[in-house]
Amino acid sequence: MTDAEIAIAGVVPRAVVTPRDVAELAAVVAALHAGRKAFAFVGGGTELELGNAPRALDTVVRTTALRHIVDYAPEDQTITVEAGITFAELDRILAEHGQMLPLDVPDRARTTVGGALATNAYGPRRQRYGTAKDLIVGVRLVRPDGTLVRGGGKVVKNVAGFDLPKLAVGSLGTLFGIVEATLRVYPVAEARARVAAILPTHDAIVPTAGAFVARRLEPETLAVYDGRTLVAEFAGTAAGVAEQHAAAERLLREQGAALAEAPASGARSGAWRARLAAPPAATPRGEVAYPLLGIAWRIAEGPLDLGALRRGATAVVHALPLAARTTVDVWGPPPPSFALMRALKANFDPHGLCNPGRFVGGL
């Protein structure tokens, strides 16, 4: 994505700057703060449609030049990187030591670590490894006044002090900018295998997923495509994967499913995209669903009925046509913790300069 193509929820900035290092980025932010100019942080630009349109936007500060490995200790299974490094580059470095970062993003060549953390990106591997909040160990941030601060540490057991790393995840750049992160990494599995089946009906999703739990099967991912095609993927030792794969095939036959070829996975496109969340026992319907997580994606070319989707579930709209933004509440009703969220915004960004209005409830 070129600087000329950047628009946050349809709002085009007056200027785009790409600092060459962390010190320069902090100086840019300090100058914007002094001039009381609204700004936003952007990495690879893969989630620019997420959230409300900013109330004001003078400058976009890109982090894509911050691509260094700050520290890597394979024996400790942690790595510290600058926020602008892409997942593709990080994958290459970790693979040299037989390790990986189990966060799912749609475009590893473009998505940056800072962007994935700020948007709380995750996918089907969440059921095995958790979200970014479970993988982040430490963080270095730039506050809206240009001050650089650190939170957490470089070892997994560090939990002292206020948990800035977890606060950074999902903050959407409305409190501060992420410039470095220390992340927990995992060994690459010795073996992998997938099993796919066509379920007899959509209503079979929840009991079939429950059967996986009851049989103590541990798929790395469990997804259902288009309401009926279930795909389970196993990862681990060769013997363990073979045993789990065979047990999964037996279970699916018992559930009345017909074994089939796994469909092509990957990102699905549509003018409208919403992520739904509910308790796993009430997994929402969607073009892609993760029944052990209670998560589903609704993807369509035409408008989604958000009122209906939000009965019994939360629904966050990740993409929609620009013309629909004035009539759609992309976040839905603010959560019970909204008063605390508003207090955090006032504390970190009292002048309301950092991506103002983009988050829940117009924060």
pLDDT at 23: 97
pLDDT per position as a tens digit, 257-281 = 999 988 776 556 789 999 999 998 8
- Per-residue DSSP letter, 82: E
Residues of the chain with pLDDT under 70: 154-162, 265-268
CA 3, distance to chain mean position in Å, is 23
Beta carbons of 290 and 127 less than 8 angstroms apart? yes
Domain coordinates in residue numbering, the chain: 3-63+347-362, 69-187, 191-260, 272-324
CA-based end-to-end distance of the chain:
27
pLDDT at 162: 61
Report the pLDDT value the prediction gives residue 158, as an integer from 0 to 100: 44
At which residue do the structure tokens 């992420």 appear? 178
CATH number, span 3-63+347-362: 3.30.43
Looking at residue 267, its pLDDT comes to 58
pLDDT for 154 equals: 62
Starting at the earlier edge strand, list the strands of the sheet with 314-319: 258-260, 191-198, 229-236, 221-225, 288-290, 295-300, 272-277, 314-319
Q: Residue 148 and residue 275: Cα distance in Å, rounded?
A: 33
* Residue 261 confidence (pLDDT): 86
Q: State the CATH architecture for 69-187.
A: 2-Layer Sandwich (3.30)
Pick the CATH number of 191-260 from 3.40.190.290, 3.30.70.3450, 4.10.80.400, 3.40.50.1220: 3.30.70.3450
Tokens, residue 61: 């500060």
Beta bridge partners of 195: 232
> For the segment 291-340, what is each residue's pLDDT rounded down to a tens digit?
999 999 999 999 999 999 999 899 999 999 999 998 899 999 999 999 99
